[in-house]
Amino acid sequence: MYDFKGKTALITGAARGIGRAIALELARGGASLAINDVNESAAQEAIQLALQAGSPKAQFYPFNVADSAACDAGVEKVVADFGGLHILVNNAGISIDNLLLRFKDEDWKKVLDINLTGAFYLTRAAARPLMKAKTGAVVNIASVVGEMGNGGQAAYSASKGALIALTKTVARELASRNVRVNAVAPGFIDTPMTQSLPEAAKTKMFEAIPLARLGTPQDIADCVAWLSSDKASYVTGAVIRVNGGMYM
C-alpha cells in the first residue's frame, strides 16, 4: 500500500473494471478521489466502495472527456472542490472493432476522440494544477495492441499507440516542473467482455500469453498506484507492460 494522504486523484472511466480497481487502490492509500464516468449509478457505487476503502472524500464528475471545454471546467471544479490536484489517470476508453475496409469514419473519430483526444484535453487542463502540486503524476492507460497492433482494431490500436507517443512528449515537457508522465500498457484483462468470449477464442488468447492467464484489473491498479506514488519519483516517460509476457 502507498501513502496518498493529502493527495487528490482524478480518474476517468472509474466506475467499473480497471478504472474502479485503480480508484479503490488509491483510496486504500488515503487519496481523495474525483470519479469521472458516463455511468452515474456505477460511479456512485464506486464512490461508496472508495470511501469504505479509506478515501476521505470521493465525488462524481460526469463531464465528457471528448469535450475540450468540459475537461477545462471539470478540472477547474475538481481543484475548487478538493483544493488541488496531484494525480491524473487517463483511463476512459472505448473500442469499436472492424476490419479496415469496413471501418466507418464516425467510428474512427469516436474512438480517437475518447481514447486519445480526451487524454490530451484532460492532461492539458490538469497541467497547471499538477505543476502547482510540485509532485504531480499522470498515468495514461494504453494497451498492448498500441505497441504490437491487432487485426480488426485499427482505431483502437492507433489511439493507444498515439497515447504512448503523447505520454513521452508530455513527460519531456513537464519534467522540469516535477510532473511525471507515464503509461501502463495492459494485455488481455479478465473483464466481463473477455469472460463472454467463446472457449476457442479464450484458448487462442491463452496460447499468446507466456504466463498462461488473463490479467486482472488489480494487476493494472497495482502498477498505476506505484507510478502515482513517490516510490516512482525517478520514473517518467516510461511504458510499463502488464501483459503476462504477450509482448516483450
Residues with active-site annotation: 156
Whole-number Å distance between alpha carbons of 66 and 239? 23
Cβ partners under 8 Å of residue 31, min gap 6:
4, 5, 7, 8, 9, 55, 87
Reference 141, options 8, 235, 21; nearest CA is: 21
Whole-number Å distance between alpha carbons of 33 and 44? 12
Q: What residue type is 145 in one-letter code?
A: V
Cβ partners under 8 Å of residue 86, min gap 6:
7, 8, 9, 130, 133, 135, 136, 137
Cβ partners under 8 Å of residue 47, min gap 6:
33, 35, 58, 59, 60
Whole-number Å distance between alpha carbons of 69 and 183? 25
Let me know: does 99 contact 152? Beta carbons within 8 Å: yes
What ranges in 54-117 are assigned the alpha helix state H?
Answer: 68-82, 105-112
Cell of 245: 509476457
C-alpha 227: how far from chain center: 12
